[in-house]
Amino acid sequence: MNKFSIIITGVVLLFAVLTSCQENEHGTVDLTMPGDVEKPVEAQYTYNHPSAMFNQADFDRVKAMLDDGTAPQAVKDEFQNLKNSTFAAPGYVHTPQTKIVRGDATGTGFPGENYGYAMRDAAAAYQKALLWKLSGDAQYAEGSIKIMNDWAATCTEIASNDANHMLAAGCQGYTFANAAEIMQTYDGWNANDLATVKSWLVRVFASKNKDFLTNHQGTNNCALHYWSNWDLVNMCSYLAIGILTENDDMVNYIVNYFHNGVGNGCIKNMIQGTFADPLNTGVFISQNQESGRDQGHASMSVAVAANLCQMAYTLYQNNQSVSKLDFFAANDNAIMKMGEYTALFNLRNGNDNANATGSWLITATKMPFNEYKYCIGCSCRDQNHGATHTSVADDAGRGSVRPGWEILYNHYAKVKGLSSGFHYSKQISDKIRPEGGSGDNRYGPNSGAFDQLGWGTLMMYRP
Ligand SMILES: [Zn+2]
């Protein structure tokens, strides 16, 4: 090496050290040096319960405007929908099971899946908890804690002969945990009963969540085998139970996983490319890991990610020194852009969403898309299940809209007060408001209605 090349090499190395990321014609190139690994977050947290989906200030804000009649009509309407929900009704009958079975029931001792009981009862516990907070009516509080006490006394396991029980551990885990997180602010919950519910959630749900996120069902699968939703619901559950039980290690695990985890719930894997909006609104749109799979799952990914970000942000209110807890802000508001992509592709012209017949806002061919190789040349033992996605999936599920958009729109536009960037999440929120909640008529009785907590217009909407 001559003197000249040594100088050039030195300059290049110095440049690489000074800049960890550089933009060129191929996009942003990560120039992080080996050994320059981000330090994991090992924070201690302050927990002002409730501190998962919503805090006391959120409940005070909504209750005050409902009480004095100043709430926007859509908020009043969704509150009425919640009061009318069959799950919130005083006569609702809950049905705890010894085992929650989701997936192949072989070997579980049950003739088939029964997770619907947990799905409906967890939603009922959550809806009654919301209603108690917003009405002050102790009948709802007693109903909510009775459901959880009885489940904790009965259920010992989540099981199946395949991976699907992990979805129940995630979806129902974070629904029960959010109900318990709200209800632990109720004086009438016997301390021993509350402790029993907490240890039940840790033992039966959180242990599965952690196992899934760490191992992804063992050595037969690569870490990216399970689509983003599998990670996301388990992340929601583990975070919610961590907050409920004031477990700093659990919260830190999710903070680190969200930013640098191995699976598709990590933001680096969940987002597969960022583009300027081809309709020239000036917003940026980000492809979701499931955008080429189908729109029902891409929409679920956005909705569950919104729930996850909202929980982390609530905790962030009392822990602002831990900037990585603001998942919404991560990677230059990447979650907002991911919402924009999915909203844009699932919106129609016209005024309604679910039953709309108008033309789509955009054609599939106009949607920018980075080729996505799912389990191609990966370390999965089965090498025959991979797929290469070359365009956004224009499938029958296109136009499927889940509750969750109010979280994204109101967070970025109203809580953060950004002036732009949320063009399509605003449009989709405006169309479907009030967005409804888990298990009401709008989203039907199927499991998709219970994957996310819902009731975003009631709790988030700011005119
Ligand atoms: Zn794989």
pLDDT (tens digit, 9 = 90+) per residue, 69-113? 999 999 999 999 999 999 999 999 999 999 999 999 999 999 999
pLDDT reading at 268 higher than 60: yes
pLDDT reading at 420 higher than 60: yes
- CA 383 / ligand 1 centre spacing (Å): 8
- The arithmetic mean of pLDDT across residues 21-38, rounded, is 53
- Asked if residue 456 lies in contact with residue 425, where contact means CB atoms within 8 angstroms, the answer is no
Amino acid at 345: F
pLDDT at 6: 45
- The arithmetic mean of pLDDT across residues 34-40, rounded, is 71
- Asked if residue 288 lies in contact with residue 301, where contact means CB atoms within 8 angstroms, the answer is yes
pLDDT reading at 32 higher than 90: no
pLDDT in tens, 231-246: 999 999 999 999 999 9
Sequence-distant contacts of 110-116: CB under 8 A, at least 24 apart: 113/160, 115/168, 115/172, 115/447, 116/447
DSSP helix/strand/coil, 374: strand
- Asked if residue 10 lies in contact with residue 282, where contact means CB atoms within 8 angstroms, the answer is no
Quote the pTM value: 0.92
- The arithmetic mean of pLDDT across residues 423-432, rounded, is 94
* Residue 33 lies inside a defined structural domain of this protein: no
pLDDT at 299: 96
- CA 218 / ligand 1 centre spacing (Å): 12
Q: Work out how many domains the chain is built from and give that number.
A: 1
pLDDT band at 36 (very low <50, low <70, confident <90, very high): low
Question: How many Å apart are CA 288 and CA 267, to the nearest integer?
Answer: 10
- Asked if residue 443 lies in contact with residue 449, where contact means CB atoms within 8 angstroms, the answer is yes
- The arithmetic mean of pLDDT across residues 204-222, rounded, is 96
* Residue 281 lies inside a defined structural domain of this protein: yes
- The arithmetic mean of pLDDT across residues 17-43, rounded, is 59
pLDDT at 349: 85
- CA 285 / ligand 1 centre spacing (Å): 26
pLDDT band at 13 (very low <50, low <70, confident <90, very high): very low
Chain center to CA of 236: 6
Measuring CA to CA, which residue among 314, 447, 439, 463 is closest to residue 455? 439
Burial 443-461 (b: 16+ CB within 10 A, else e): beeebbbbbbbbbbbbbbb
**Paired tokens of 224:** 């990216």
Residue-range definition of the domain harbouring residue 249: 38-90+178-460
- CA 222 / ligand 1 centre spacing (Å): 4
**Polymer length of the chain:** 463
Q: What angle do CA 329, 269, 45 make, to 5 degrees?
A: 45
How far apart, in Å, are the Cα atoms of 435 and each of 74, 236, 276, 351, 356? 9, 21, 28, 14, 15
* Residue 227 lies inside a defined structural domain of this protein: yes
- CA 259 / ligand 1 centre spacing (Å): 21
pLDDT band at 358 (very low <50, low <70, confident <90, very high): confident
* Residue 452 lies inside a defined structural domain of this protein: yes
* Residue 44 lies inside a defined structural domain of this protein: yes
Categorise residue 207: left if φ over 0, alpha if ψ from -120 to 50, beta otherwise: alpha
* Residue 184 lies inside a defined structural domain of this protein: yes
pLDDT at 441: 59
DSSP helix/strand/coil, 309: helix
- CA 380 / ligand 1 centre spacing (Å): 4
CA atoms within 13 A on the CB side of 384: 0
- The arithmetic mean of pLDDT across residues 261-279, rounded, is 98
* Residue 360 lies inside a defined structural domain of this protein: yes
pLDDT in tens, 158-198: 999 999 999 999 999 999 999 999 999 999 999 999 999 99
- CA 23 / ligand 1 centre spacing (Å): 30
* Residue 52 lies inside a defined structural domain of this protein: yes
Measuring CA to CA, which residue among 292, 294, 273, 293 is closest to residue 284? 273
- CA 304 / ligand 1 centre spacing (Å): 23
Question: How many Å apart are CA 443 and CA 461, to the nearest integer?
Answer: 19
Q: Near ion ligand 1, which residues have CB within 5 Å? A: 222, 225, 375, 378, 380
**Paired tokens of 2:** 């001559």
